[in-house]
Amino acid sequence: MGANAIKANKKGFIFTLDAVFSLIVASAAVSLLLYVHFTSPITPAAAPTIEALSVMHNMLSTQLAGILQSGVALPPLQAYKLPSSSEPFGYAGFLSNGSYITAPTGLIAKNGFTISFWIKPAAEGRYVAGCTSAAPGGDNASVIAYLGNDTTSVEIAYNSSGSIYVNGWFNNCPISSPGSVQVGKWTNVVLRANSTTDAIFINGIQSGVAVASSSGSLKGLLLGTALGTTGSEGSSNLGLYNFTGYLANIQLYNESLSMSKIYQISHGGINNVPIGNSNLAGWWPLDRNPNDYSGNGNDGISHSVNYPVTDYLPIGGYNASINESIAQTLGELYLNNDSMYAEFLLNDSVLGQPRAGIYINSNYSGSESVSSFNATAGSYGIVYNSSILNVGSPNVSISSWVYLEGLGTCGTTTPSCIVIDKEGSYALAVNESGSVCLQLQGTSLGTSWNCTKPVVQPRTWSQVGFTRNSSIANLSYDGGVLKNVYVTGNVLATTGNTMIGAEGYPGAISGTFNGSIANIEIYNSTLGPQEYNELYLAGVSGMALSNSNLVGWWPLDGNTNDYSGNGNAAIPYDISYVSIPFTPPSLQNAYAVSKSSVPISLNDKGVYNTYNVSVVIWR
C-alpha cells in the first residue's frame, strides 16, 4: 500500500504536554502525536509518551563518553573491533631523536602489499638528495616507516617539500606531489605495491607512481626511523633521520588493495577499522600503546614515544566531543552528513530497538543528506573490480531506495536509469514508464531486460530491488513482490566494474541516473518476504540485515563508503549530496507516535544555529 493510501486511513491527534516534560527537562516543549487506524482500537498513549520523555531525558543528560564506555563499536559493523571506540582518540608522538617503535611482522610480499597510516608532522621533513637507479637516495629524509631488514627493505619518508618519498626499489622511487602532507595537519598516506607499479595515495587519491617493483619478502616494521641511513641498504644507524610528529592507525596488508578499498580506508576517518577480507598482516592503532590488534600478535615496543589523547572522537568525518550530550551528537552527525553513524548510535546504543527516530526542525533526519546523480553530467560511483560482488550462484538479493527527478530520460525497451550494474553480470534499473527492470546475464534470461508494470513515480522515494533463488526471481517495489520471473542458471562472475547510478565503464558511460539513490544493499542470499519488507519499513536510512550474507552496503548518505565491512567504497564522479525530506514507512504505518522536543544549538558544517530536536517513538 502506498504512503498516500496509508495516510488516508489515519487521523492525527495532537496534545501538548509541556507541564509533564518540564519536570524532566526545563523549558522543553513536548508534543504527542497519536495515529490510529479506523479499524484498530485506540491504543493508550501513556506508554509511548513516557518512553519518549525518558529517552529525551537520557539523551540530554548522557554524554557521548557515557555511551561509548558501554563498549559500543561504531560501523563498519562486520569488521574488526576498534579498541579506541569506547575511549577518546589517541595516537603516537615521535618528538625526539630517540623516538621509534619496533614491531615484528610475518613475511610480506614486496611486490604485493599495502600499508596505510595517518601522519601529522610537527616540523618540516629533511631534504632528499635524489633517487637514481644506481644508488637509492632518501638517506636524508625524515623516515616515517621502514618495512624489512638490513638487506631488503622499503622506506617511506617525509621530505622538505612536503612530499612522501619511497626508497627501497633500486630502479624507481615514487614520490607524491609537493605539499601533499602539511605540518600540523592529519593526512592519510597509503603505499601500494604490486608486480607492475608502486603507487602513493594521499587522502585516497593516487599521487606518486613508479613502475616495476622488485620481488622478494619483507619482515619487520620500524616506525619513526630506519635501519639504512647511508644511501644504501645494509647499514644499521638506528635512530638517525627520525620523523618528528605524530602517527596513527597503521594498517599493513599482505595484499595489493584495490583503489576502492584504499579510498574507503581514507574516507572512513582517522580511527577507521581495517578492511575486511583483505589479508590483514598487522594493525597498530597507536592508541596509548603499540599493540597489534589484527589478531596476529605482532605487538610493538616503544622507545621514547609518547601517546597523546584528544578530547574528541572522530566519527566518520565529524569530530564529536566526548563531553557533549548524545542529543547534540546525534543532531550534529545528521547535519554533517554522517547519518549512518547517528542511526547506529540511536537504534543500537541509546534505545536498543529500531522504533525510534530523530526529527530536526520537523524533518525526519535519517535523510538529511543523500546522493544526487545528474544524468546530464554523467555522475556515478564506481566500485572497482571486486570478486566478492560476484553474487548469484544462484541466490542473490538487492534492495535500494530511489528518487527520480523525472522519468523522461530513462529509456523504454532498454532502461537507462541504472541503479546498480555489475558490468556483464547483473543490473537493476528503472525505465521511463516507471517499471522496475532486472538483467541477469548467464541465466536463462540472457542479456534481456525483464520489467514490472509501471509503479515508480517521479519525485517520490521508492524501494526497488529483487530477490532470487534457483528458479524464481521476485522483482519488488516498496516491500512487496510485483512480478515473479522464472529463471535458472547462475549469474556470470566477471572482473567488470560495479557501477552505481550508471552503466558501462569509465570513459564509456551509456546510461546514467537522474535523481537520488540511497541505501543499496547486496546479499549473497535469498531474502524472505518478511526480511525484504523489514528493509522497506526501515526506510531510506535503515540498517542492513544482520546474519544474511551481506556483501555490499552503500547508504550514500554523505559519502560513498561500503558499510558491509568488505570495504568496497564507490569512488564518486560528480556526485553531490542533497536533503530530501523522508518519513520511514514504519513511522507512517505506526498506530501510536509520541514526540518529545527541545531546542539545541548545533554545529552545521562550522556554523552554529539553534534547532528543534525531537526524539520520536512509535509502536
pLDDT of the residue at 436: 97
Per-residue pLDDT reduced to its tens digit, 372-399: 999 988 999 999 989 999 999 999 999 9
Which grid cell sits at 307?
A: 601517546
Answer whether residue 434 shows pLDDT above 90: yes
Specify the higher pLDDT residue, 126 or 239. Answer: 126
pLDDT of the residue at 598: 93
Give the pLDDT band of residue 548 (cuts 50, 70, 90).
confident
Answer whether residue 479 shows pLDDT above 70: yes
Q: Kindly state whether residues 261 and 276 are assigned to the same domain.
A: yes
Residue with cell string 535469498: 526
- How far apart CA 494 and CA 496 sit, in angstroms, is 5
- How far apart CA 175 and CA 537 sit, in angstroms, is 50
Query: CB–CB of 82/271 below 8 Å?
Result: yes
How many structural domains compose the chain? 3
Q: Kindly state whether residues 102 and 243 are assigned to the same domain.
A: yes
Give the pLDDT band of residue 188 (cuts 50, 70, 90).
very high
Answer whether residue 29 is part of any domain: yes
Specify the higher pLDDT residue, 66 or 500. Answer: 500
Least confident stretch, 221-225, 322-326, 438-442, 513-517: 322-326
Residue with cell string 615514487: 174
Answer whether residue 378 is part of any domain: no
pLDDT of the residue at 273: 84
Q: Please compute the mean of the pLDDT values over residues 406-432 and round it to a whole number.
A: 94
Least confident stretch, 115-119, 464-468, 559-563: 559-563
Give the pLDDT band of residue 1 (cuts 50, 70, 90).
very low
Give the pLDDT band of residue 130 (cuts 50, 70, 90).
low
Query: CB–CB of 443/437 below 8 Å?
Result: no
Q: Please, what is the average pLDDT of the chain?
A: 82
pLDDT of the residue at 208: 84
Residue with cell string 596509548: 288
Give the pLDDT band of residue 606 (cuts 50, 70, 90).
confident
Q: Please compute the mean of the pLDDT values over residues 411-436 and round it to a whole number.
A: 94
**DSSP label of 124:** P
Q: Please compute the mean of the pLDDT values over residues 433-441 and round it to a whole number.
A: 96
Q: Kindly state whether residues 450 and 364 are assigned to the same domain.
A: no
Answer whether residue 193 shows pLDDT above 70: yes
- How far apart CA 252 and CA 250 sit, in angstroms, is 7
Answer whether residue 315 is part of any domain: no
Boundary-marking domain end, from 309, 335, 357: 309
pLDDT of the residue at 238: 60
Least confident stretch, 7-16, 285-294, 320-329: 7-16
> CA-CA distances (angstroms) from residue 335 to 148, 340, 396, 543?
45, 12, 34, 19
Answer whether residue 472 shows pLDDT above 70: yes
Give the pLDDT band of residue 471 (cuts 50, 70, 90).
very high
Render the burial of 556-574: b for 16+ CB within 10 Å, e for the rest: bbbbbbbbbbbbbbbbbbe
Boundary-marking domain end, from 257, 275, 309: 309
Q: Please compute the mean of the pLDDT values over residues 224-241 and round it to a whole number.
A: 57
Q: Kindly state whether residues 168 and 274 are assigned to the same domain.
A: yes
Residues in the chain, how many?
619
Answer whether residue 136 shows pLDDT above 70: no
Which grid cell sits at 570?
A: 564507490
Q: Kindly state whether residues 262 and 298 are assigned to the same domain.
A: yes
Q: Please compute the mean of the pLDDT values over residues 28-44 and round it to a whole number.
A: 31
Answer whether residue 490 is part of any domain: yes
Answer whether residue 80 is part of any domain: no
Residues spanned by the domain of 277: 90-309
pLDDT of the residue at 540: 92
Q: Please compute the mean of the pLDDT values over residues 602-610 and round it to a whole number.
A: 91
Residue with cell string 622507545: 303
Largest CA-CA distance found in the chain, in angstroms, rounded: 86
Q: Kindly state whether residues 28 and 171 are assigned to the same domain.
A: no
- How far apart CA 542 and CA 367 sit, in angstroms, is 10
Answer whether residue 480 shows pLDDT above 90: yes
Which CATH number is 399's domain given? 2.60.120.200
Q: Kindly state whether residues 225 and 363 are assigned to the same domain.
A: no
Q: Kindly state whether residues 128 and 163 are assigned to the same domain.
A: yes
Residue ranges of the alpha helices (H) in 97-256? none
Answer whether residue 83 shows pLDDT above 80: no
Give the pLDDT band of residue 71 (cuts 50, 70, 90).
low
Give the pLDDT band of residue 350 (cuts 50, 70, 90).
low
- How far apart CA 536 and CA 1 sit, in angstroms, is 12
Amino acid at site 378: G
Per-residue pLDDT reduced to its tens digit, 145-177: 999 877 788 889 998 999 998 876 545 678 899
Q: Kindly state whether residues 156 and 261 are assigned to the same domain.
A: yes
HEC letters along 236-296? CCCCCCECCEEEEEEEEECCCCCHHHHHHHHHCCCCCCCCCCCCEEEEECCCCCCCCCCCC
Answer whether residue 186 shows pLDDT above 70: yes
pLDDT of the residue at 256: 95
Answer whether residue 459 shows pLDDT above 90: yes
Q: Please compute the mean of the pLDDT values over residues 282-297 and round it to a whole number.
A: 93
Which grid cell sits at 106?
A: 610475518
